[in-house]
A and B are shown apart, each in its own frame.
Chain A
Amino acid sequence: MAKINFIVNHQPIELDINPSTRLLDVLRDYLGFKGVKEGCGEGACGACSVLVDGEAYNSCLTPVANVAGKEVITIDEFNKTPQYRIIADAFAEMGGSQCGFCTPGMIINTYVLLKKNPFPSEEEIRFALSGNICRCTGYNAIVKAVMVASENGRNIVW
């Protein structure tokens, strides 16, 4: 057991916990942020993606000790931002979400991509999202949604 301090969705958190506990379990089971999904538990699908100091992390592979002193944002909070709105509207318009299980992770990774590269090419989008599995859409609508989000977000600071 160890004391770990970090920030989740703007709230300071202090936990007395086994430091190797998966961040995914901490977020879902201890803190109740159910927007973070478990698709594989081994870093293969990206459904569990969260922002850690602005970078996308697979929370299933991240021991909670690794986020000590850092700021974690999950979809449960990110969904209140204008950046989310632009991405979500683009996903809705293009049909980028079917069953929706991959979608929170896709949206987090889309955000990180657009922050670094606001006008990505198709190839760059496919590369950036290649760690996120979607079994429903064949990715067509997702890739197009990222293009639409890029276009619609041309005037905002990602």
Chain B
Amino acid sequence: MDMERFKNSTVKIDNEEKMAGEALFTADIPLKDFLYVRQIRSSIPCGKIKEVILPELPEDYYYVDASDIVKENVVNIIFSDWPVFADGHVKYYGETIGLLIGKNKAKLIELEKQVKITYEEETPVFDYVNSEIHKEFKKGDLSSVIKDADLVLEETFETGYQEQAYLETQAMIMWLDGEKITIKASMQCPFYIKKAVVRTLGCNEEDVRVIQPAVGGAFGGKEHYPSMMAAQLATAIHKIRRPLKMIFDRSEDIINTTKRHPSKSTYTGYVKDGKLVGVKARVRLNGGAYKGCSGVVLSRALIAVVDCYNIPNLDITGDVYITNTMPSAAFRGFGSPQTIFAFEMFIEHVAKKLGVDPIEFKIAHFAKQGDITAVNGKFHDKIILPELVEKAFEMSDFKRKYEEYKKPGCLRGIGMSAFLHGCGFTGSGESTIINAQVKLTKDENDIVHLYTSQVDFGQGNRTTLKKIVSDTLGIPESQVTHEPPDTDHTLSTGPTAASRTIIIVGFLCEKAAKNLKNIWKSGVYQEIIEPYVGPSYITWDEDLMKGDAYPGYAWGVNIIEVSYDPITYQIKVEGVWSTYDVGHAIDDRIVCGQADGGIAQAIGYGYMENMEMKDGKFMQKTLSDYIVPTCEDLPMMETALIDNLFAYGASGAKGCGELTFVGGAPALAHAIEMAIKKNIYKIPLTPEYIMEVVENGKD
């Protein structure tokens, strides 16, 4: 059956070297005469730094801090407020104050313990009190439905931190090639790293080169943090001019890198004549100590505020709260998993309150082609949610199980979530901010070379993009190369984020290949530079949060079945079925791999991955106490893809990486609600929380 399923698949370019252990990840790359680098970090959540007392440093050991900044003490992230080194003031536990650098790792660790930092402590803030980013918008006229609503329901939902837990920790090496700063790192966005170095040093673009080695997973966690590492190492290399290596061990990585934003959102729903006609929502995200990319995460959370449902009247506000904690940043889904969880739970609770079937109630509210989106744009393209639901029902035997498990005393549950994911950067960002440009050349031997800045950290995009080119040109895949990005050889096709690689860059690759095909002349060098031009009907106003938020949407349905042990309050996942509309899968095996991995992470988010914060410190520090799913926690999962071609995608392809994550936690939570016969308002669903709900919760 799988051979059938994978009929359009090719073996990934980097598969063999990775399996054989021959691919070089950052820590594997030989580097001559280098020094190890370790961060010296704040041991309090908030306060003034009074003094840093260093032990005597042996010869060839160095300390670098804010006083060594060459040009600007800021890391270039969307909103640049995060300093490279804390300058006089720390705002979160673990903030980098300086770097200790030297030849021997053990010696460095010993020296690090002798560094004494004195502080004047200030009262930290950990709660949702200081909003520093606020957005709001309305759709329809909520006041018109408030007065004669038949039913009003208000509920609050919470979601926790989530650690990316990519298997390769953050790692970077940097050396001088002549005068050129050269960087290899575990990363997602080579051009982000380059910009961060240029900005902090005030040097020229040509002075920095970033090359991507093999990358062991990222999931958003290597979108911004490597820019921080690069800015720190660049400051150090400017001073000491020696090759540098900074590799995090697992605990450093868990404690010191960005995670998914925790959230707390309050929804009020208004029902008239059996329909949910209005929703008021207050979405709150914990942004941590610096804003960074949180504003954009908030936008995505708000655009997904009522998920894939069409609710005619909305009054929505969203805030990012600044707290004295590790800044939150990108993680697969980028804000939407939080609101999709909340709304999926909410709409089913409304249905239960009305005494109607939650599944039918949801289906009756599905958005359709031509409907107005939450942010007053339009769903321009065909929406095939009903087909996705029908297929998922059939795969999982949903209806029979649903009726059976509902019965009192049954310790099983089955739940369904439906969802959408906007592909690409928000609004017109792709054409106005990113301006991706694909370079495609053909040499005298008629070998075609594709250059993009997309990083393959496991998603298979190096293979998929190459395949788009060879398929379009009608030549064998072996006649096309697509090497990992090197900023000296590729133009920027933008970051590897936001499920934009296939929908945006893939589309560009197809266009470039079509153009090359038109001018193809055997035996001569030819070159195509293809800039992105998106759908012209896309208009977006970020300040007003109004318009077409994305070039296109991908859609999905998840069904999860669980069993529940009332003695231990433990959950076991018994079945997982998913259907997706990703437009068209260029490579089924790769897309199904994303589907499996995405929902596995979402199941972890839903009930296993518990990251607690106490006095500004993460309580979980290792992979033994931050538990991610192992293969014993998951059953065999089934995925089906239904084509729904997108006019602005290569062969109709849209995005898929994040889509496969966003619906998992609510599908799981619905199933658990059914098994425990109580409502759920929070994830992760730890046994402790389930116990509390079972003992005291609402039916």
Contacts and interface: CB of A to CB of B under 8 A. Distances in A.
Contacts of A92: 11-12, 15-16, 19
Contact of A126 (B6, B589, B601, B631): B631
Contact of A79 (B20, B166, B169): B20
B21 A35 contact: yes
B413 interface: no
A101 interface: yes
A136 B457 CA distance: 9
Per DSSP, chain B at the interface is: loop
A88 B518 CA distance: 40
A74 B21 contact: yes
B168 A35 contact: no
Contacts of A47: 167
A17 B628 CA distance: 35
Q: How large is the interface on A (under 10, 10 to 19, 20 to 34, 35 or more residues)?
A: 35 or more
B636 interface: yes
Contacts of B395: none
A59 to B, nearest CB: 13
Contact of B593 (A37, A40, A95): A95
Contacts of B624: 40, 42-44
B635 to A, nearest CB: 9
A53 interface: no
A93 B25 CA distance: 23
Nearest to B460: A98
A135 B249 contact: no
Interface in B557-609: 589-590, 592-593, 596-601
B188 to A, nearest CB: 12
Contact of B25 (A91, A101, A126, A132): A101
Contacts of B217: 98-99, 101, 135-136
A101 B553 CA distance: 31
B634 to A, nearest CB: 6
A144 B2 contact: yes
B622 A100 contact: no
A37 to B, nearest CB: 7
Which residue of B19, B632, B637 has the most chain A CB atoms within 10 A of its CB atom?
Answer: B19
A41 B166 contact: no
A79 B623 contact: no
A36 B21 contact: yes
Which residue of A36, A129, A133, A139 has the most chain B CB atoms within 10 A of its CB atom?
Answer: A139
Contacts of B25: 37, 101
Contacts of A132: 630-631
A135 B27 contact: no
B167 A99 contact: yes
B543 interface: no
B414 interface: no
Contact of A97 (B18, B599, B623): B18
Which residue of A47, A76, A99 has the most chain B CB atoms within 10 A of its CB atom?
Answer: A99
A30 interface: no
Interface string A73-117: 011100100001000100111110111111110010000000000
Interface residues of B, number: 56
Contacts, number: 173
B601 A135 contact: yes
Contacts of A144: 2, 636
Contacts of A97: 12, 15, 18-19
Given A38-B27, A88-B16, A133-B628, A75 B21 contact: yes
Contacts of B16: 88, 92
Per DSSP, chain A at the interface is: loop
A84 B19 CA distance: 9
B303 to A, nearest CB: 27
A144 B636 CA distance: 9
Contacts of B18: 97, 99-100, 103
B22 A42 contact: no
B167 A135 contact: yes
Contacts of A70: none
A64 interface: no
Contacts of A138: 596-601, 629, 634, 637
B214 interface: yes
B676 interface: no
Contact of B165 (A38, A74, A135): A135
B659 interface: no
B8 to A, nearest CB: 13
A135 B219 contact: yes
A155 B599 CA distance: 36
Which residue of A43, A129, A133 has the most chain B CB atoms within 10 A of its CB atom?
Answer: A133
Given A126-B632, A135-B628, A99 B22 contact: no
Given A98-B458, A135-B628, A141 B596 contact: yes
A17 B475 CA distance: 55
A76 B23 CA distance: 11
A37 B186 CA distance: 14
Interface of A: 28, 34-45, 47, 74-76, 79, 84, 88, 91-95, 97-104, 107, 122, 125-127, 129-144
25 contacts: A34-B28, A39-B167, A42-B250, A42-B622, A75-B20, A75-B21, A76-B22, A79-B19, A88-B16, A93-B6, A94-B2, A95-B6, A95-B589, A95-B593, A98-B458, A99-B458, A100-B18, A101-B216, A125-B631, A130-B631, A137-B600, A138-B598, A138-B601, A139-B630, A140-B634
